[in-house]
Each structure stands twice: as structure tokens, then as C-alpha cells.
Amino acid sequence: MHEEHRQKLIKCAERYAEARQIVLSIPGTSVIEDIQYAMCLINEERKANTWPDKFKQKYDLSLAESPIKEALVAARILEEFSDLITVLHRDLNYDWCWAVNQTGILNKAIGYDNNLEECDSMEEKEEQKKQPIGKPDVGGPFELLNQDGKLTTNNDFRGKFMLVYFGFTHCPDICPEELDRMSEVIDRLYNDNEVGKVIVPIFISCDPQRDTVEAVREYLKDFHKDMVGLTGTFEQVAKVAKAYRVYFSRPPDVKEGEDYLVDHSIFFYLMDGNGEFLDVFGKNMTVEDITDKTKQYIKNYISDGGNLVPLEKKTK
């Protein structure tokens, strides 16, 4: 089963590398921006098809012209790639570090240097390959600053579920859309009498160079009032990202003051009241699906004797 998914991942990465190269060959294109824009168009199409009464599709993607046409091809492959990574995270005992180093092709496919620490040795890689199928080792201790500048650790969330998302405040489209989705999930859970306010939405920056405490505080004003924003030094962020098996990378050789986009994993990570990993939700899952699964996890946790402490009301 492991080898089957590994081969699928490699083939998908190869297809993305080819599609990305086609986009790159078109004069005047920016691979990151054009493909990210294409992913946003695909997301708009999906929302319009899922909720036709709420959303209207602005563009007929079948009529797209170059370079968006080529970017759409790459974006759809990248979404397929993300879905495969979801399986690796959730159903198999793989982590991102192993996937990148073992295939030897993902760095080329993604097009960036990996900011996460590489596995220390060939022995470590081989040991990871031998790990049995079971609950993935995701999450762990962390120390970061919240949007008020207060030192915050994983222990501050004991007795509460966590829904965690990694992103960056300069993200033009995908991060705001995902945080809007997270906010809707949280509202649905808070308004459910069987659940209540026992889960914390958490945004962790993967762009510590620009995402200061003040930047994160200002950014989160547009999202759920109970969302906790966390940032820190590059070393602190890289440590927690590695613990959560999150990939992130910025373009190399960025000059001081130059704008850039950060490429990163796009998932919600669900952790229980003891900080243990439960599930990961990708872009392919609807708000309804995420809400229903999270609710069931919370009910199961309580029925198994777990204690949860409701969030305190915020005071102005």
C-alpha cells in the first residue's frame, strides 16, 4: 500500500513538473502567481457548482486563453497532488520530509528549495520507511507568540480541540478563502448545542520574516473573533511546521522589500483535547463535511471520558 501511493505521488509530481515548465516557458508569466490564480478560479468554479444559489461563476474556464489555460492544467494536477498528500498524512504513516527526500523528484516538481530540515541520514530515512501503518505522528510541543505578543505554547490549548491552519498574511486568495471556511466551520460548531465552544481556530504563520505580531493581529481582524494567530522566529516556525508535517517555501534570492508568495501545504489539522492528532482536511472537503467529522470526533472524545473546557467569553 505504501509503495502504491509512493508511485502515484511520483507520477503526479512528474506531470506537475512538466505542466509547470510549460507555464514557465510562456513569456511574461510568473509561475507562482499564475498557478495560484488558476487555483482560485478552480475554487470559484467548485463553489459555484456546489452552491449555485450562493455563488455565481465569473469565468467559463473552458474558454480560458494562454497563459491561464496552461496554468489551469498545472493547478488541477497540483490539487491532485495535494489530495494524495492528504492520504499520506491521514491514512499512512508518512511525513512530508520522508516524501520529499525519498522520491528525489518533488523538489524539482515544486520548484523550490525545501525550507524544512532534511532527514539527518540515510538510516533515518530507511527507519521512517519501516514504520508500521497506524496513527500518523503529527503535532507536538511549540512556543510561539500570539497576536497580542504573548508567549503561547501547546499547553495553553489543553482541554480544547484545535483546528490548525498554516498560511501567511500576504497571501492574496487561498489563505483568506481557507480562513473563511475555517471560520464557518467554527461558527457551525459553536452554534451546535451538542458541541459548543470547545474548539479553537488557530492560524500559524509560515512567513515569519514579514508576519510580525502586529501584522498577524491586523490580518485576523477579518476572520473569526476567536481565531488565535501565532508567529515567531524562522527556527520556531520551522520546528512546528516540521512537527505538523507542513511543507513551506519561499522563492530563493528574495531581495529586501521585494514582494513574494510562500508556497505551502493547504490543510486543516484537527487535534484533540490532549493535543493529539485526529485528522487532516484538504481543500477538496466541504465546510459541511469538515463540520460533521469534527463534531463526531468531539462527541467520541467526550464519550471516551475526555474532558473539554469551553472557551471563555472575550472581553473588550
| pLDDT tens track for 212-233 | 999 999 999 999 999 999 999 9
Provide the Cα torsion 202, 208, 213, 218; round to 10°. Answer: -70
Out of 64-78, 86-100, 239-253, least confident range:
86-100
Helices (H), the chain: 2-24, 31-50, 68-90, 96-103, 106-110, 122-129, 174-190, 213-219, 234-243, 287-303
At residue 300, the pLDDT reads 94
Residue list for the binding site: 171, 175, 264
At residue 4, the pLDDT reads 74
User: Stretch 202-221: mean pLDDT, rounded?
Assistant: 95
Maximum average pLDDT range among 34-48, 105-119, 202-216: 202-216
H or E element: which one contains 30? Answer: none
Share of the chain above pLDDT 70, in %: 78
3 φ/ψ angles, rounded to the nearest 5 degrees: -65, -35
Share of the chain above pLDDT 90, in %: 39
Angle among Cα 264, 267, 273 to the nearest 5 degrees reads 125
Local confidence band at 118 (pLDDT 50, 70, 90 cut-offs): very low
pLDDT of 127 > 60? The answer is no
Residue list for the binding site for Cu cation: 171, 175, 264
143-303 in CATH: which number?
Answer: 3.40.30.10
CATH 3.40.30.10 placement within the chain: 143-303
Local confidence band at 136 (pLDDT 50, 70, 90 cut-offs): low
pLDDT of 160 > 50? The answer is yes
46 φ/ψ angles, rounded to the nearest 5 degrees: -65, -45
